[in-house]
């Protein structure tokens, strides 16, 4: 297991690692357990119907990671995956990327995702030399919206009726932070 970053939350050691096929079963079990809650906000859940689907996603992510087109990381608590966080839509010319994340509900509210995003920002700005990171969150998903706000992202706007999910159009709030803003907040 290649650990990109690790940190402690309370008594729990958390690691950000490249996903591996052996984690597919546990990740799929989390998705199954939390399917109702996840599908409220995450359109991809409808495509993950089996462990095989999760294995295919992990292999896809590993291939894209190797080409620096994606940075997909599993969030590990102890030795068990509890969610994922990624940099996607990486644009090397304009030096920006978007972030996506999800976590098993029983681990939410402990600061794990906020710290995971903070670690991912450090990698994005300090190691990948990106200039801007964007988070798009459903306007009604208060938990997801709170994470970038806690880290000093500013809200750049709202994309009205941007996605069609669960038989309705949904607005997405766009949050962003630049390298200079990040350095001011973390100096």
Count of beta carbons in the 10 Å neighbourhood of residue 113: 24
Question: pLDDT value at position 187?
Answer: 73
- The rounded distance, in Å, linking the Cα atoms of 163 and 100 is 15
- Whether pLDDT at 1 is above 90: no
pLDDT in tens, 58-87: 999 999 999 889 999 999 998 999 999 999
pLDDT in tens, 147-169: 999 999 999 999 999 999 889 99
With cut-offs at 50, 70 and 90, classify the pLDDT of residue 27.
Answer: very high
| C-alpha 59 chain-centroid distance | 17
Residue ranges of domains in the chain: 3-132
Contact indicator for 166, 45 with CB cutoff of 8 Å: no
Count of beta carbons in the 10 Å neighbourhood of residue 72: 19
pLDDT in tens, 123-146: 999 999 999 999 999 999 999 999
Contact indicator for 53, 47 with CB cutoff of 8 Å: yes
Instruction: Answer yes or no: CATH 3.40.630.30 is held by domain 3-132.
Output: yes
């Amino acid at each position: 297991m290649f650990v990109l970053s690790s940190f402690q939350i309370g008594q729990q050691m958390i690691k950000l690692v490249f996903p591996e096929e052996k984690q597919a079963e546990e990740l799929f079990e989390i998705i199954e357990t939390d399917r109702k809650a996840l599908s409220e906000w995450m359109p991809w859940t409808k495509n993950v119907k089996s462990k095989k689907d999760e294995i295919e996603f992990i292999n896809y992510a590993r291939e894209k990671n190797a080409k620096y087109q994606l940075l997909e990381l599993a969030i590990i608590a102890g030795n068990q995956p509890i969610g994922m966080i990624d940099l996607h839509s990486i644009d090397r010319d304009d030096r920006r990327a978007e972030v996506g994340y999800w976590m098993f509900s029983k681990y939410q509210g402990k600061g794990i995702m906020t710290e995971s995003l903070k670690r991912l920002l450090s990698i994005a700005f300090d190691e990948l030399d990106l200039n801007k990171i964007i988070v798009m969150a459903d306007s009604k998903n208060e938990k997801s919206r709170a994470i970038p706000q806690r880290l000093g992202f500013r809200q750049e706007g709202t994309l009205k009726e941007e996605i069609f999910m669960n038989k309705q159009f949904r607005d997405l709030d766009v949050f962003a932070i630049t390298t200079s803003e990040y350095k001011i907040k973390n100096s």
